[in-house]
Amino acid sequence: MNKVEGQDMAVRKIIKIDEEKCNGCGLCIPNCAEGALAIVDGKAKIVKDIFCDGLGACLGHCPQDALEVIERDALDFDEVAAIEFVKSKGEELKAPVHPPAGGCPGSRMKQITRKETHDSNVKLTSKLSQWPVQLMLVPVNAPYFKGADLLITADCVPFAYANYHNDFLKDKAVVVGCPKLDDSNYYAEKLSEIIKENDLESITVLRMEVPCCGGMAFAAKSARDKSGIEIPVKVITISLEGEVLKREYL
């Protein structure tokens, strides 16, 4: 048995992070109840081995598949120390927080300057044909889902993409959410039920370019796979400046 600073180490289960795959989205952080994970220099890191219980509650929340449970020499999990650490972080969060430069890219501040155009006063008509729209609130068997083209929208997209209604929302049923703020496993489960129950014509995911928004596409793909129904998932990535960056199928 090895020792570190007088403490015994033994082979046990613990999280391993593949830094080549990790893009710093931070989706794993809120799903580690023990506070073992943090974003450091744009990558997920284990704060201390003693805070990681090795159970892998964070695994399903990584859209990059960068986390796995392995066995290696590590200090024993210290539940008391983990609880105290989480409490200390909670106390710190009562004060104003200024995220470090190496934090989640999706939370970094950016000011966007735009030029006025000749059509800036054109009024558009809403193409929304249902209510509610939040994925957490829509009923699985809502009539507007039957045989629909489903548009899964990350909730920042309509703010960034000016012609969202005409280019994407028209004639589609829509659900809206944020994988960074909500439980992506819940998203996957609910979307799976919507897919199974409604004989959808198509699925399109609109996401932002920031890494954490990849959780939206991950939830849609997981839902499709869970449903057992073969239907392509089209993913469209939007830049912070409001341009289409990429179109792909999962």
Question: For the segment 166-215, what is each residue's pLDDT rounded down to a tens digit?
Answer: 999 999 999 999 987 888 788 999 999 999 999 999 999 999 988 778 88
Question: What is the pTM for the complete model shown?
Answer: 0.70
As given in the structure block, the two tokens for residue 83 are: 């609880």
Token pair 């289409």: residue: 244
CA distances from 129 to 6, 98, 144, 159, 216 (A): 65, 40, 8, 19, 22
Dist. CA 128–CA 2, nearest whole Å: 62
Domain ranges for the chain, please list them.
2-104, 143-249
Give the CA angle between residues 168, 173, 174 to the nearest 5°.
70
Percent of the chain scoring above 90 in pLDDT: 55
Q: Could you read off the pLDDT of 90-129 as tens digits, one per residue? A: 644 333 334 444 455 666 667 777 776 666 677 789 999 9
Q: Could you read off the pLDDT of 40-91 as tens digits, one per residue? A: 888 999 999 999 988 887 877 788 889 999 999 999 988 888 888 887 876 4
Q: Where are the alpha helices (DSSP H) in 17-162?
A: 79-92, 157-160
| Cβ 155 vs Cβ 177: under 8 Å | yes
How does strand 202-208 pair with strand 149-154? parallel
The domain made up of 143-249 has a fold known as: Rossmann fold (3.40.50)
Dist. CA 177–CA 158, nearest whole Å: 12
- Residue 156 Ramachandran class (φ > 0 left, ψ -120 to 50 alpha, else beta): alpha
Q: Which CATH architecture has domain 2-104?
A: 2-Layer Sandwich (3.30)
CA distances from 13 to 19, 58, 149 (A): 19, 14, 44
**The pLDDT value given to residue 100:** 42
Token pair 């155009």: residue: 117
